[in-house]
């Protein structure tokens, strides 16, 4: 049978051993292996400056009449659907930061599919960074040129102008027409032979064109005749 002295010694040593074991356990958790389990960061978000450089040559307040507005070339229907009207009636009338805020909402909902030709300019390309930058710059210049009306482009002696896409045909007796990218009211009135020309077509659709005859957008259905 152990003596009372030995029992008291064991009672004093036991708490010390428990403390030492706890310290050793904490050291193992905070050692080099623990650093590997640290937080991992996801890929960076879209580079909106590069997308704008590709879409509009970096001009955040551009409106060429092609149905898309601002640095990110957002059409009015998309602008309204993602809360743009809290900032301005159209993207080109909003600030750069406000356009990016709407772009972030679009990207969260649809990814970068809204910018199919320019989304690739936000990621790294294979090869050296210098060659990737040169290729991205060339792509931006080509795509930006396609967005700018022909009258605004600088003449080129060694390159013929790119052919324009054929305009959608309008049946002679059609009563309505769905707006396509690049359309304007005067051209639609001429091709549809609308009575009264542009003014007549605007009068037929004044209830839908609340921002004036110059603001139509792709997908919008217009009346051509009474």
Asked if the model's pLDDT at residue 195 lies above 80, the reply is yes
What's the average model confidence in pLDDT over 169-175?
Answer: 74
Task: Give CA torsion, residues 20, 22, 24, 30, to 10 deg.
Answer: -150
**% of the chain residues with pLDDT over 70:** 58
Question: Quick one: pLDDT at residue 105?
Answer: 94
- Phi–psi pair at 13, nearest 5 degrees: -75, -35
Neighbours of 198 (CB within 10 A): 16
Q: How confident is the model at residue 225 (pLDDT cuts 50, 70, 90)?
A: confident
Per-residue pLDDT tens digits for 86-115: 999 999 999 999 999 999 999 999 889 889
Q: Enter the pTM of the model.
A: 0.40
Spatial distance between the Cα atoms of 24 and 62, rounded to a whole number of angstroms: 65
């Amino acid at each position: 049978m152990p003596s009372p002295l030995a029992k008291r010694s064991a009672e004093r040593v036991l708490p010390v051993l428990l403390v030492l074991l706890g310290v050793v356990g904490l050291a193992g958790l905070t050692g080099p292996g623990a650093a590997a389990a640290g937080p991992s960061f996801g890929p960076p978000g879209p580079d909106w400056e590069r997308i704008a450089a590709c879409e509009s040559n970096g001009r955040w307040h551009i409106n060429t009449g092609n149905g898309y507005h601002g640095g990110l070339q957002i059409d009015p229907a998309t602008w309204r659907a993602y809360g743009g009207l809290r900032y301005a009636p159209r993207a080109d009338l909003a600030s750069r930061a406000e356009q990016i805020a709407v772009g972030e909402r679009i990207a969260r909902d649809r990814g970068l599919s809204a910018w199919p030709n320019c989304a690739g300019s936000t990621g790294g390309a294979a090869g050296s960074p210098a060659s990737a930058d040169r290729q991205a710059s060339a792509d931006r210049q080509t795509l930006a040129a396609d967005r700018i009306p022909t009258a605004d482009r600088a003449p080129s002696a060694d390159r013929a102008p790119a052919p324009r896409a054929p305009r959608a045909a309008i049946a002679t007796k059609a009563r309505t027409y769905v707006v396509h990218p690049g359309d304007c009211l005067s051209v639609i009135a001429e091709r549809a032979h609308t009575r009264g020309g542009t003014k007549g077509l605007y009068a037929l659709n004044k209830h839908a064109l609340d921002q004036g005859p110059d603001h139509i957008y792709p997908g919008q259905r217009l009346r051509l005749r009474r």
